[in-house]
């Protein structure tokens, strides 16, 4: 007869196992699901997980995702480092040899060997032996980081090039020199080179010729590329970041002619030499250049039939630059937060171009005393200034500009966009004196420009406003808007214009006007009235005020007769239009801040 105590113990053990299984959901999962979870674990986590139980120990040794990281740079005790080195190598050897004997497959092998001490800096040879075992196990992804002496360099073993199962390779040599063998990666689809020095002038062409199936190429923190020419027919994604393209005896060239390339990203790169960028990628859809620096004269020719989006952000052009874009499918182009030191010529040919954004771009500040100075004598109108932005876009319909350059007059902006319909402009004024042809197709314009220069006294502010450069800038800018039918504009450029002009600019087609005042409305009534005299076909007027005087804040006050009439409906000296347009039916004055609002219906009064 079975002892009751033994029966109770067996029952207790069974209940404990049931309870453990109830709370330990991970142990109850199938092996393949646990292997998938292992793929997201960090370095050496699988080794620690093997200490939990016998089943986990077996799963860790047979996992298709192996991550090993060795850091021999921390600590100064050589005997301790020697012990760690021996234990680490023994453990990795044991795991990989066991995998080789069982013939189990290997999806990913990650080996990061941090060691700059010569005594233990033999990672290259040790890691090579582990990589050799991994290729025999049919590894699909290799992630290798080793410290390589700059004098020795590093070459991958031949078995890596011949491995038919290998699909992805990431190599980090801590700025060590890397060279390809004669063999090629016939089956590789993803190549990532990080912190590598390349001394091969034909580096790009070798990749194109030897990586027949390559889909994605990432170059990060790569140094020594004097020329980059790629003609891969399989490459779809190219990302270049933190790379330095040094000076060379001959002109530097960057030629990408990949028929399948869809995405191109260049970020935080330095082009020190005279670089010519030629892009002929018929499948390219998105191109981004950000936070990069271009040293000498820079020319970029983009001939991509399928390109839809072009972005150039946060880059520094130390010399003249040309961006020649011939992409019939380009929908939107954006240049933002860039700094120019010379002429920037942007020519966009696209039948699909809907919008162009020029935002927060600046020029290198000239050494002048005042922010708005008269033009230099040696600069002629015909020749043009040595520093400016020139934009040509025959089919452009929408232009968005946000300027923040305090030296706007020294660096004019020239725009040739005969089909431009919508213009949005905020920030500092920019000189339009080199605008050869007006915006004849302009329909809508939303303008809010005002210089960012700040003055300590009213006298200095008055001198700035009377600057001839600003007055001419405002006059030319208003002339460019004269074809618009809808106009929303702040009163600053209008106020500047009438400081030395009595006759208003005529807007024959303007029907709807929104004026934004940022000062005392009562003080700006004469200026507003002078501007309205040039609007013969105006139908609706909205004035939005930041400050409305107490006389005008009364909702019962008749603004048309008491305030605007003396200016709008009476003759004025040296004025061609002595009255506002007779079609004006609605005048609305609003307070931007506060609840005060007054509306006046003007029944088309005559003088």
Question: Could you report the per-residue pLDDT of 379-420, keeping only the tens digit for each?
Answer: 333 344 556 788 888 899 999 988 776 555 555 778 888 899
What pLDDT was estimated at residue 118? 61
Most confident of 14-23, 94-103, 317-326, 564-573: 317-326
DSSP, res 52: S
Determine phi and psi for 530, rounding to 5 degrees.
-65, -40
Please give the structure tokens belonging to residue 406: 């305090």
**For the residues of 276-309, what is the DSSP string, one character each?**
EEEE--TT--EEEEES-EE-S-EEEEE--TT--E
How far apart CA 287 and CA 479 sit, in angstroms, is 35
Q: What is the pTM of this model?
A: 0.78
What pLDDT was estimated at residue 267? 96
> Are the C-beta atoms of residues 422 and 400 closer than 8 Å to each other?
no
Helix (H, G, I), strand (E, B) or coil at 166: coil
Label residue 460 by pLDDT band (50, 70, 90).
low
The label of the residue with tokens 């006050």 reads: 557
What pLDDT was estimated at residue 350? 92
> Are the C-beta atoms of residues 256 and 264 closer than 8 Å to each other?
yes
Residue 100 has pLDDT above 90, yes or no: no
What pLDDT was estimated at residue 607? 35
What pLDDT was estimated at residue 576? 35
Per-residue pLDDT of 544-601, as tens digits, reads 887 655 545 544 443 444 455 454 544 443 333 344 556 676 778 777 654 334 333 3
Per-residue pLDDT of 277-323, as tens digits, reads 999 999 999 999 999 998 778 889 999 999 999 999 999 998 888 99
């Amino acid at each position: 007869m079975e002892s009751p105590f033994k029966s109770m113990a067996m029952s207790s053990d069974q209940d404990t196992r049931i309870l453990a299984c109830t709370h330990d959901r991970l142990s109850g999962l199938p092996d393949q699901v646990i292997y998938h979870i292992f793929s997201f674990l960090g370095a050496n986590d699988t080794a620690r997980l093997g200490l939990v139980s016998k089943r986990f120990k077996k799963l860790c040794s047979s996992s298709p995702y192996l991550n090993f990281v060795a850091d021999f740079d921390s600590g100064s005790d050589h005997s301790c480092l020697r012990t760690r080195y021996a234990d680490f190598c023994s453990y990795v050897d044991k795991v990989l040899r066991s995998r080789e004997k069982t013939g189990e497959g290997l999806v990913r092998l990650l080996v990061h060997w941090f060691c700059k001490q010569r005594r233990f800096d033999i990672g290259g040879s040790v890691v090579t032996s582990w990589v050799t075992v991994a290729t025999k196990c049919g590894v699909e992804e290799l992630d290798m980081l080793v410290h390589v002496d700059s004098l020795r360099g590093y070459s991958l073993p031949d078995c890596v090039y011949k491995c038919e199962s290998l699909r992805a390779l990431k190599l980090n040599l801590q700025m060590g020199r890397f060279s390809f063998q004669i063999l090629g990666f016939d089956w590789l689809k993803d190549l990532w080179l990080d912190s590598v020095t390349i001394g091969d002038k034909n580096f790009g062409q070798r990749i194109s010729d030897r990586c027949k199936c390559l889909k994605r190429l990432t170059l990060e923190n790569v140094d020594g590329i004097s020329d980059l020419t790629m003609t891969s027919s399989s490459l779809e994604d190219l990302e270049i970041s933190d790379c330095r393209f040094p000076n060379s005896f001959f002109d530097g060239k960057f030629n990408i002619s990949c028929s399948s390339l869809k995405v191109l990203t260049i970020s935080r790169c330095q082009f020190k030499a005279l670089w010519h960028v030629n892009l002929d990628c018929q499948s390219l859809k998105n191109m981004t250049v950000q936070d990069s620096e271009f040293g000498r004269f820079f020319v970029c020719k983009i001939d991509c039939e399928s390109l839809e989006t072009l972005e150039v952000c946060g880059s520094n052009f130390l010399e003249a630059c040309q961006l020649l874009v011939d992409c019939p499918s380009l929908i939107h182009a954006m240049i933002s937060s860039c700094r120019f030191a010379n002429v920037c010529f942007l020519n966009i040919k696209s039948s699909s171009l809907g919008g162009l954004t020029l935002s927060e771009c600046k020029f290198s500040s000239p050494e002048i005393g005042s922010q708005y100075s008269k033009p230099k004598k040696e600069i002629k109108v015909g020749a043009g200034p040595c520093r400016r932005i020139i934009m040509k876009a025959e089919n452009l319909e929408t232009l968005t500009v946000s300027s923040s350059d305090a030296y706007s007059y020294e660096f004019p902006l020239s725009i040739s966009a005969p089909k431009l319909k919508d213009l949005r402009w905020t920030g500092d004024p920019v000189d339009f004196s080199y605008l050869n042809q007006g915006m004849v197709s302009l329909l809508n314009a939303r303008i809010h420009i005002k210089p960012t220069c700040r003055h300590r006294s009213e006298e200095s502010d008055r001198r700035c406003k009377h600057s001839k450069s600003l007055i001419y800038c405002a006059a030319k800018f208003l002339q460019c808007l004269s074809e618009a039918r809808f106009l929303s504009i702040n009163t600053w450029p209008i106020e500047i214009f009438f400081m030395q002009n009595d006759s208003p600019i005529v807007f024959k087609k303007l029907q709807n006007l929104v004026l934004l005042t940022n000062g005392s409305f009562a003080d700006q009534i004469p200026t507003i009235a002078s501007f309205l005299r040039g609007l013969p076909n105006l139908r609706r007027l909205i004035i939005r005020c930041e400050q409305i005087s107490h006389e005008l804040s009364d909702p019962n006050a008749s603004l048309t007769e008491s305030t605007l009439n003396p200016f709008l409906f009476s003759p004025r000296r040296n004025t061609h239009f002595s009255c506002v347009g007779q079609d004006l039916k609605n005048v609305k004055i609003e307070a931007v801040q506060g609840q005060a609002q007054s509306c006046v219906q003007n029944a088309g009064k005559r003088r």
